[in-house]
């Protein structure tokens, strides 16, 4: 009987812990109007550098553009056929479609956003999230370009 109670307690704790492991809520309020550019030069996504431009108007996100570019040539990952074939193989979609979905989530969100990784595009999803958090941090501090 004690073993059963102990196991039930352990399972309960694990379930509660797992329930809290979902994507973190990102707050999209308290933003100063402006255009905020972020370059994640310290982070590479398969050799590409992540770029984001976030525009805030009326305290709300009005536009978001994300790209990953080759640091030597400046070319976008969108034009990289090998990357697009690999993304298609992994997720069934081209890289640009995944980015459009992520951008759409931000634009369609209200005051909070729950951003989860896209299957087959985990590193891009993580870099997008990191760039967004940095841009939001700038927008809260008013460090507009």
Asked if the structure places residue 79 within a domain, the reply is: yes
- C-alpha closest to that of 66 among 141, 129, 138, 140: 129
- Residue 2 maps to a domain: no
Query: In this structure, is residue 132 part of a structural domain?
Result: yes
13-28 confidence digits (pLDDT tens) = 333 333 345 567 888 8
What integer pLDDT is reported at residue 142 of this predicted model?
62
Residues 54-101 pLDDT 10s = 999 999 999 999 999 989 888 898 888 888 888 888 889 888 899 999
In a domain, 35, yes or no: yes
**How many other C-beta atoms can be found within 10 angstroms of the C-beta atom of residue 109?**
15
Residue 122 falls inside a structural domain: yes
The answer as to whether 9 is a domain residue is no
The range of the structural domain enclosing residue 38 comes to 23-141
> At a CB cut-off of 8 Å and minimum separation 6, what does 107 contact?
61, 63, 64
| Domain total of the chain | 1
pTM of the model: 0.78
Contact between 98 and 129 (Cβ < 8 Å): no
For residue 31 the two structure tokens come to: 């933003």
Q: What is the pLDDT of residue 15?
A: 32
Identify whether 17 is part of a domain.
no
Q: What is the CATH number of the domain that holds 42?
A: 3.90.1010.20
């Amino acid at each position: 009987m004690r073993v059963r109670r102990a196991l039930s307690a352990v399972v309960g704790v694990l379930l509660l812990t797992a329930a809290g492991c979902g994507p973190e809520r990102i707050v999209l309020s308290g933003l100063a109007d402006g255009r905020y550019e972020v370059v994640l030069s310290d982070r590479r996504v398969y050799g590409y550098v992540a770029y984001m431009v976030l525009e805030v108007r009326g305290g709300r996100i009005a536009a978001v553009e994300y790209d990953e570019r080759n640091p030597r040539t400046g070319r976008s990952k969108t034009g990289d056929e090998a990357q697009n074939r690999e993304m298609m193989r992994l997720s069934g979609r081209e890289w640009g479609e995944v980015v459009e979905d992520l951008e759409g989530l931000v634009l369609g969100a209200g005051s909070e956003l729950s951003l989860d990784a896209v299957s087959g595009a985990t590193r891009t999803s993580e870099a997008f999230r990191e760039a967004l958090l940095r841009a939001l941090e700038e927008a809260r501090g008013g460090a507009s370009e």
